[in-house]
Homo-oligomer: A and B are copies of this chain.
Amino acid sequence: MSNSIEVYNKLTFKQDIPKYIQIATFIKRLIEKRKIKDGDKLPTIRELSSFLSVNSVTIVNAYKKLKSEGYAYQKVGSGSYAKIREISSVFRKEYSNSLKVLSIDELPSIVDFTGETNTEVLFPIDDLKTTIDKVLDRDGANALISNSTYGYKNLISTINKVFWDNKLNEEDMIIVSGAQQGIDIVSKGILNINDNVIVEKPTYGGALSVFKWRKANIFEVPIENGGVDLDKFEKILRKNKIRCFYTMSYFQNPTGISYSLKKKKRILELAEIYDFYIIEDDYLSELIYENSIEYIPFKWLDRKKRVIYIKSFSKIFLPGIRLGYLVAPEVFRESLQNSKFNTDITTSSLMQRALELYISENKWKQNIKYLNVEYNKRYKAMQEILDKDFKELVSYIDPKGGLSFYLTLKDISISSKELFFKLKERGVYITPGIMFFTSENDGKNTFRIGFYQTNEDKIKIGLNILREELLKCHI
């Protein structure tokens, strides 16, 4: 459908900005406000240039800019068409910029419940410095040379020994530059265009982006206590040839839910029956605060070689050190090794060696113990306030571990996105639900608050402000 050209009447040019940018911005706004709809034909170049009394090159450039920003596309011989960019991706940018624009001086005065500022780091920096020094002394130039695309051999062996009781085949392992890269490599290595992928609903936005980039078809299955809804899961399996299921088995992001043993076993059976693979993203399983949660990842139960396991060290080791590994069934060995090579050749050598020494000298386990104590304090502090002061405002499933709570609004008249903006004004940052869904209509009444970048005082201050804002909108 084409719009009337009259709508462009409202465009008045300012002096100091190139006209083509002003035209592009004007059209963008119309698209975002849905005055121009997805697939609407834009005026022809001649039409618009004569209507606005500008040179036709100006319109060409404006359309070019819209195209490059994803607001328009061209059909050969037929002109330009509008394209709706998902609001979620627009908001995503706003969200991620909101913290980035803060200066270092401002950071101490805000409460970061998103966990994205990296202002608070629980890490014995001197220990790591000593470790790096030792590696440089011990290995000399070799410390800085990479010998293998798949990772530093001793690190692979140490991981196998310390975390897997030597039960892994080390040839199935690849060191990666963090879990995000792990997901990207797996996606490129095992997915073809239009392959079907099941994800949890809600799920981690960084994984969604990777699958979308790979042009996969995404099916979302709601997650509930104990794991995804198996009825809905099987229904999809029966109707579609699924290539893989992406899951976070412990403290799922954002819900904090961990899978029950029963569900894990059933999903593994289904993987065999329906011939799909499980991508298990294990990013936080070290932080278990209650005995009722036992660590048995899909990978441990994987008798039929159905699990591609991705482990991140970044969150728990150090956010600036991008390190992790993946373990995959042998059938994928070649394609994943190629995928790693074509992604970044190999992961930097020095940090692999430092991590290896850090783990084999047992400092890793000591640090995890320390982190468990510290984060558990914050977890309890947050939970105590939530249970005491938020009863009529929010509900949540107790994660019993991890670094955050996922809250559902009760009888609140605003969306969590609106809440985000209100709280931001007051220096408190939350992650609204919209960040974790493929559709912009989901996640309106949920949000995540994490304690990773806080302390007990900040938790009190932040939750107090959150409570005040929620009370204002309580129905």
A431 located at the interface, meaning its Cβ lies under 8 Å from any Cβ of chain B in the complex: no
Judge whether B69 and A334 touch: CB under 8 Å. Answer: yes
Cα-based distance from A323 to B322 in the complex (angstroms): 13
Q: With both chains docked as a complex, state the minimum distance between the C-beta of A137 and any C-beta of chain B, in angstroms.
A: 8
Judge whether B334 and A322 touch: CB under 8 Å. Answer: no
Judge whether B209 and A342 touch: CB under 8 Å. Answer: yes
Judge whether B129 and A141 touch: CB under 8 Å. Answer: no
CB < 8 Å neighbour of A125 from B64, B144, B209, B347: B144
Q: Which of A147, A215, A344 has the most CB of B within 10 A?
A: A344
A332 located at the interface, meaning its Cβ lies under 8 Å from any Cβ of chain B in the complex: yes
Q: With both chains docked as a complex, state the minimum distance between the C-beta of A6 and any C-beta of chain B, in angstroms.
A: 29
Q: A interface, by DSSP: helix, strand, loop or mixed?
A: helix
| A312, closest chain B residue (CB) | B345
Judge whether B331 and A348 touch: CB under 8 Å. Answer: no
- When each residue 325-354 of chain A gets 1 if its CB lies under 8 Å from chain B and 0 otherwise, what string results? 000000110110011011111111111000
Q: With both chains docked as a complex, state the minimum distance between the C-beta of A75 and any C-beta of chain B, in angstroms.
A: 12
CB < 8 Å neighbour of A146 from B319, B349, B351: B319
CB < 8 Å neighbour of A346 from B69, B184, B209, B322: B322
Judge whether A342 and B180 touch: CB under 8 Å. Answer: yes
Cα-based distance from A146 to B181 in the complex (angstroms): 16
Cα-based distance from A466 to B64 in the complex (angstroms): 54
Q: Which residues of B contact A217 (CB under 8 A)?
A: none
Judge whether B144 and A321 touch: CB under 8 Å. Answer: yes
Q: With both chains docked as a complex, state the minimum distance between the C-beta of A392 and any C-beta of chain B, in angstroms.
A: 38
Q: Which residues of B contact A319 (CB under 8 A)?
A: 145-146
Q: Which residues of B contact A68 (CB under 8 A)?
A: 331-332, 335
Q: With both chains docked as a complex, state the minimum distance between the C-beta of A277 and any C-beta of chain B, in angstroms.
A: 10
| A92, closest chain B residue (CB) | B338
| A353, closest chain B residue (CB) | B320
Cα-based distance from A186 to B180 in the complex (angstroms): 17
Judge whether B141 and A342 touch: CB under 8 Å. Answer: no
A177 located at the interface, meaning its Cβ lies under 8 Å from any Cβ of chain B in the complex: yes
- When each residue 177-192 of chain A gets 1 if its CB lies under 8 Å from chain B and 0 otherwise, what string results? 1101100100010000
Q: With both chains docked as a complex, state the minimum distance between the C-beta of A399 and any C-beta of chain B, in angstroms.
A: 23
- When each residue 66-102 of chain A gets 1 if its CB lies under 8 Å from chain B and 0 otherwise, what string results? 0011100000100000000000000001000000100
Judge whether A181 and B331 touch: CB under 8 Å. Answer: no
A156 located at the interface, meaning its Cβ lies under 8 Å from any Cβ of chain B in the complex: no
CB contacts under 8 Å to B, within A137-169, are: 140-141, 143-148
Q: Which residues of B contact A128 (CB under 8 A)?
A: 144
Q: Which residues of B contact A93 (CB under 8 A)?
A: 334
A300 located at the interface, meaning its Cβ lies under 8 Å from any Cβ of chain B in the complex: no
Judge whether A348 and B177 touch: CB under 8 Å. Answer: yes
Q: With both chains docked as a complex, state the minimum distance between the C-beta of A306 and any C-beta of chain B, in angstroms.
A: 12
Cα-based distance from A148 to B101 in the complex (angstroms): 11
CB < 8 Å neighbour of A118 from B146, B181, B193: B146
Judge whether A331 and B69 touch: CB under 8 Å. Answer: yes
Judge whether A344 and B141 touch: CB under 8 Å. Answer: no
A65 located at the interface, meaning its Cβ lies under 8 Å from any Cβ of chain B in the complex: yes
A210 located at the interface, meaning its Cβ lies under 8 Å from any Cβ of chain B in the complex: yes
Judge whether B334 and A349 touch: CB under 8 Å. Answer: no
A435 located at the interface, meaning its Cβ lies under 8 Å from any Cβ of chain B in the complex: no
- When each residue 240-254 of chain A gets 1 if its CB lies under 8 Å from chain B and 0 otherwise, what string results? 010000000000000
The 8 residue pairs across chains A and B that have the minimum distance between CB atoms: A320-B349, A181-B344, A68-B331, A146-B320, A145-B320, A144-B320, A125-B141, A209-B342
- Please give 11 more A-B residue pairs, beta carbons under 8 A apart, in addition to A125-B136, A129-B136: A68-B332, A69-B331, A69-B334, A129-B133, A132-B350, A144-B321, A177-B348, A178-B344, A178-B345, A181-B345, A209-B341
- Name 28 A/B residue pairs within 8 A (Cβ), A-sorted: A65-B331, A68-B331, A68-B332, A68-B335, A70-B335, A76-B241, A93-B334, A121-B145, A123-B144, A128-B144, A129-B133, A144-B318, A144-B320, A146-B322, A177-B177, A177-B344, A180-B342, A180-B344, A184-B342, A206-B342, A209-B342, A314-B345, A321-B348, A321-B349, A322-B346, A343-B343, A348-B348, A348-B351
